[in-house]
Amino acid sequence: MTENTLKLQEEIKRHNDLYYRENTQEITDAEYDELVKKVDIQTVGTAPDRRFLEVEHIVPMLSLDKAHGQDEVEEFFAKVRKLLNVHELEIVCEPKIDGVSFSAIYENGRLVKAATRGDGYYGEDVTKNAATIEGLPKVLPDVKGRLEVRGEVYLRNDDFLKLNKDNQFSNPRNTASGSLRQLDRVSRKGTYVQWEVDPPG
């Protein structure tokens, strides 16, 4: 590994820590993506902050690859067709919600654990702050056994503008992350959108 590659990896780690732990950023998402492309590494978040209890994800909470341009989209489709052994694909597109990936665990219908993605294998326990998340049920009637629900916690733009009258927050995504990851309970509430139930594994 070259000295330049090591420096780039250190820089990427520093930007990951700023983004995922400090809820701030020094470079744009596009600039970050360019850095990652230079060293061709796969990163998912960052290791959990030691101020939080650590939660192990039974099924890793990984990230999707990004596609930059038509060629990479076509490569993705080809990979999926090969994996599924099909010629035709039906694709669903949905808006990208820029928030914080999140896992909620229910036991017999009661929310018992909430965790951030962390590094994909271990996240941060944010169960106490889960009560502030709009749209995340605390009880699921008629659900027996263990159920895991994954999704995204985000702050709607209109809520962000109301909250940010004094310009103390950089953007809705970092504000949602900061609100979820407060060590003491907060009144700022994020919104939750679900994208997976009981992931396979």
User: Catalytic amino acids?
Assistant: 96
Residue 67 makes CB contacts below 8 A (sequence gap 6+) with 73, 75, 76
- The sign one gets for the Cα dihedral 167, 172, 178, 184 is positive
Give the other-Cβ count within 10 Å of 179's Cβ.
23
Other C-beta atoms closer than 10 Å to the C-beta of 150 total 20
Q: How many CB atoms lie within 10 A of CB 175?
A: 22
What would the 3-class secondary structure string for 94-106 be? CCCCCCEEEEEEE
